[in-house]
Amino acid sequence: MKKTKITLTIFIAVLGLLLASCERDITEPTISANPTKPIQTDFTLTTNFDKANAESPITFAWSAANFGFASSTTYTLQLSSKNDFSADVVNLFSNQSLTGTSSVKQINNVLLSWGKAAGTETTLYYRVAASVSASNVVYSEVKTKKLTPFKLTLDPDQYTIIYVPGAYQGWSPGADNGRLYSYNADSKYEGIVRIKDGTNATSEFKITSAPDWSHTNWGGTLTKTGNNYSGTLDASGGNLSVAAGVYAITVNTSTLAITLTKTDDWGIIGSATADGWNSDMDMFYDGKYKVWQITANFSAGEIKFRANDSWDVNLGDNGADGSLEQGGANIALATAGKYTIKLDVENKTYSVKKN
């Protein structure tokens, strides 16, 4: 028994010496007080920066950063409209390589999302951020490039959409009533939405990135100025709320800015409608084609277009030529039936089609 105790004691002592030796052999990495920054070259574009070359690649390259020890370094290509990156910062991509690729269209969309005018030259600032942790980041020198953004002309079926579900339409993402469109394949979405249920003085809604609740949905708090609202969307925010009404809505999914501008609510009145000249039939704004429209049953008779259930703004057709004039002549529907009627307020034109 004594021999066993001695052997166990020796074993424990040797094990302790081995552990102590291992602890002395482990060296904790030390981050350099002055890490070596990445050095980037001018980005490479072998075509013109224009619509015809929208899918052409733009390649960025840089040297490795050195934090004083062997590390897995993440590189993020950042863009800004400011030379000090104090605003409009966009993280274009991140990787652990020394090169990365974007496209003419992607960078053009960023420029447009900043409000840069198509056809007007502007300066793009870009840099590489190298990081080994959230608190250990170094940046390359800032590079600049003069670029002229351009508008992409898309077919309506190519527009991307975000959605405005709310109490006014049964909280239904993807419903026809409550869609905003990106007309230039950028992060700016626009549309006109009637946010009112006919009963309540205020109405709540949210913005969703897809026609369901399974993806990103934004809420937040809006600031009211006159009849209009503005704010910043928040993925964890509560329902947005406005006074019941019709609003031209603009959302920037890059900056998360949202504005709602009170606008005209269009309808049709006349002897051909169910209530005659007493009240309007509300039209629906179809943002895909930028027209107000309605499909409904009409009697033989006459109609006019009115804004806001008032005669202050009313449109008729003096020459029966499809062109509208303020206070113009009544528009005749010769026979009863189901019609689709469309109103283009911007161009003061309309169409009437019997289905």
pLDDT, one tens digit per residue, over 269-289 is 999 999 999 999 999 999 999
Quick one: pLDDT at residue 99?
A: 93
Quick one: pLDDT at residue 4?
A: 47
Please report which confidence band the pLDDT of residue 81 belongs to, taking 50, 70 and 90 as the band edges: very high
The token pair that represents 117 in the structure block: 């005018």
Quick one: pLDDT at residue 307?
A: 97
The token pair that represents 337 in the structure block: 């039936």
Which CATH number applies to 51-147?
2.60.40.10
Please report which confidence band the pLDDT of residue 30 belongs to, taking 50, 70 and 90 as the band edges: low
In the block, tokens 């959302």 appear at: 251
More confident residue, 255 or 113: 255
More confident residue, 187 or 306: 306
- Where residue 308 falls (left for φ over 0; alpha for ψ -120 to 50; beta otherwise) is left
Going by C-alpha positions, the residue among 333, 323, 325, 355 that lies closest to residue 273 is 333
Please report which confidence band the pLDDT of residue 148 belongs to, taking 50, 70 and 90 as the band edges: very high
Domain boundaries, the chain: 51-147, 156-262, 266-354
Q: 30 vs 20, 35, 70, 71, 243, CA distance in Å? A: 21, 11, 10, 11, 58
Quick one: pLDDT at residue 12?
A: 52
CATH of 156-262, one of 1.10.287.1120, 3.40.50.410, 2.130.10.10, 2.60.40.3620: 2.60.40.3620
Mean pLDDT of 211-236: 96
**DSSP string for 248-262:** EEEEETTTTEEEEEE
Quick one: pLDDT at residue 235?
A: 95
Return the SS3 of 120. Answer: coil
More confident residue, 142 or 2: 142
Average pLDDT, the chain: 90
The dihedral of CA 159, 163, 169, 174: what is its sign? positive
b (16+ CB within 10 A) / e for 201-227: eebbbbbbbebeeeeebbbbebeeeee
Q: Give start and end residues of each alpha helix (H) in 75-166.
A: 104-113
Quick one: pLDDT at residue 3?
A: 46
Quick one: pLDDT at residue 2?
A: 44
Same fold? 51-147, 156-262 = yes
Quick one: pLDDT at residue 5?
A: 46
| CB contact at 8 A, 165 and 206 | yes
User: Looking at the predicted structure, is the pLDDT value of residue 54 above 70?
Assistant: yes
Q: What percent of the chain has pLDDT over 70?
A: 91
CATH of 266-354, one of 3.40.50.300, 1.10.3720.10, 2.60.40.3620, 2.60.220.30: 2.60.40.3620
Q: What percent of the chain has pLDDT over 90?
A: 73
Please report which confidence band the pLDDT of residue 28 belongs to, taking 50, 70 and 90 as the band edges: low
User: Looking at the predicted structure, is the pLDDT value of residue 1 above 50?
Assistant: no
Mean pLDDT of 306-311: 96
User: Looking at the predicted structure, is the pLDDT value of residue 158 above 70?
Assistant: yes
- What's the predicted TM-score (pTM) here? 0.65
Please report which confidence band the pLDDT of residue 29 belongs to, taking 50, 70 and 90 as the band edges: low
